[in-house]
Structure 1
């Protein structure tokens, strides 16, 4: 278990809902991954992310899915790709990533509290 934090610490992490508008293979990545473009609504706009989610998802099945992502981390260079957000997931029993997503459609840009 992690150390206890204050609610203000939690609020520093800006987690928003967005819709995947593009997904493509990222064959240059060291571990199998996709390049995602996620629309986080008019306030934030679109952000790109590299996601190691190839076990459970094909690129064509990702477009249109809503996901949760951290939008206030600094951009990270991953090989030749610049990742601008962190799409959230949890490991399944074998360690493969399963996306964290709302079970009902919600407006893009909505913040997790």
Structure 2
């Protein structure tokens, strides 16, 4: 096989891989948006729990932040400040700006900002 044919096949494989990756990220993003738009917080929580480690860092950070907020307020799940704090810190490490602000603002607070999340209905 000629070098040119090998190059073209390799290039086509890269394009196909990139297309598949983009479709995968779009599907994860769509699941996230559908879950967040739902009034059924319990169902949304279950969906987000399943996909929290999927996608790229931006997607993971966004999903983990949303899960953390749900856990802080007990929206669709049992309130769990320790788990919420863990997820929000992970979201911050993935570059999620709101998570970083929450960590900086409430890290030393006993409820890690749960009272604000509940009061302001930050779902």
TM class by smaller structure: under 0.3
Greater Rg, structure 1 or structure 2? 2
Q: Structure 1 or 2: larger helix share?
A: 2
Q: Structure 1 or 2: larger strand share?
A: 1
Q: With structure 2 as the length reference, what TM-score do the two structures score?
A: 0.21
Task: Give the number of the structure with larger relative contact order, counting CA–CA contacts within 8 Å between residues 6 or more apart.
Answer: 1
